[in-house]
Amino acid sequence: MSKGSSNGDKSTGLVYHHDFLKHDTGAYHPERAARLTAIIERLESSGLSERLVRISPEPAALEQIEYVHERSYIESVREVCERGGGMLDPDTPVSAASYEVALLAAGGVIKAVEEVLNGNLKSVFAAVRPPGHHAERSRGMGFCIFNNVAIAAEHLKRRGLRRILIVDWDVHHGNGTQNAFYEDASVLYFSTHQYPYYPGTGWLDEVGSGDGRGFTVNVPLPAGCGDPDYIYVFKEVLAPIAAEFRPEFVLISAGFDPHASDPLAGMRLSSRTFGVLTEVIKSAVGGGGRIVVSLEGGYSLNALAESVQYVLEALRDEFEGGGVPEAEARAAVRNRVAEIKRIQREYWGL
Ligand SMILES: [Zn+2]
């Protein structure tokens, strides 16, 4: 169990299954099985995995996928995979095993949420693939098949929760998640993302509609943002809104593609900053915060593995030299934050 660990506290879980490697995207696709292998190897070589409770996922039930997706779309994914594979969109290949693996990924995040809800664990990192935040009600896109985090949020609603915070720091906007809860005041969706960039959504005037007005908070950022810019945004926008919302549960759509080494996007985060962002979220929601972190993007293997380690250390209060540094954001980011505050002030005490 916690052999050789100075800290025997096993309050944080890790969802992983070898079957996640069976979703085969081909030889040259960035969203590949080696991503998860790199994470697991890092957690083992650093000794951190000994201090984590391993959680073995089970496939989500069809009714659970239907919380977010249309039956006809789910069936079409199954059929494409039964024929041996194909493309859901130009970016999203599936192989024979992908349907089952996508069920397992969604089921993994549901199980993570259950472990925390039941009080067995305080937090869980779900090292799942395929990712989910681009997946729409009736179509897969952007490497995503089923929207793991949105399904988990719907699961939480069915367990009686009324204030669920989703923080999406993937470099791409989580269009699928935003749309799933756009008119829903029980799920607050906060996203930082490079803009303009794929998938094209997520401008700051997208704030939700109907009962959901003010429960979507978008922070579109210019390319080239670094550690101080992100820390500033999280402290200035997310922290006060999260503190006021008082979430009963936090889901993090954790994409590690804002990393400086990432081959797909143009942000400049260091690995440590993902730990810092985790700390900002934890302190905004208070000590009893229940947190499940679900892997989205992140395509530089070393950067991904290192960043995940920092997030897990932050979840476990083991983050070396922890604490949130003062952050001097550049003018373009300060101006953007001021604009967002003007818009969101209608809903929040900013
Ligand atoms: Zn991404």
**Per-residue pLDDT tens over the stretch 66-91:** 999 999 999 999 999 999 999 999 99
- Answer whether residue 29 shows pLDDT above 60: yes
Tens of pLDDT along 291-330? 999 999 999 999 999 999 999 999 999 987 666 777 789 9
Q: Tell whether pTM > 0.95.
A: yes
> What pLDDT sits at residue 319?
87
- C-alpha span between 122 and 115 (Å, rounded): 8
Task: Indicate the length of the chain as a whole number.
Answer: 350
> What is the C-alpha to C-alpha distance for residues 54 and 75, in angstroms, rounded to an integer?
31
Q: Taking ligand 1, which is a single-atom ion, which protein residues have CB atoms under 5 Å away?
A: 170, 172, 255, 257, 297
Cα 7 to Cα 3, 4, 68, 314, 328, distances in angstroms: 10, 9, 39, 14, 34
Catalytic residue among 17, 69, 133, 134: 134
What pLDDT score was predicted for residue 323? Answer: 67
Supply 13's token pair: 């879980």
Ligand 1 centre distance from Cα of residue 172 (Å): 4
Does residue 4 have a pLDDT over 50? Answer: no
Phi, psi of 278 (to 5 degrees): -60, -40
Q: Which CATH class is domain 12-344?
A: alpha beta
The percent of residues in the chain predicted with pLDDT above 70, rounded, is: 97
Q: How far is the CA of 150 from the centre of ligand 1 (A)?
A: 16
23 catalytic residue (yes or no): no
Strand partners, 12: 123
pLDDT for the residue 7 = 47
Of 8-12, 50-54, 171-175, 323-327, where does mean pLDDT reach its minimum? 323-327
**Distance (Å) from CA 200 to ligand 1 centroid:** 12
State mean pLDDT over 128-142: 98
CA distance 20 to 36: 8
56: helix, coil or strand? Answer: coil
Higher pLDDT, 325 or 144: 144
Tokens 């996928």 identify what position?
Answer: 65
Distance 326 CA to ligand 1 centre (A): 27
Q: What is the mean pLDDT of residues 44-61?
A: 98
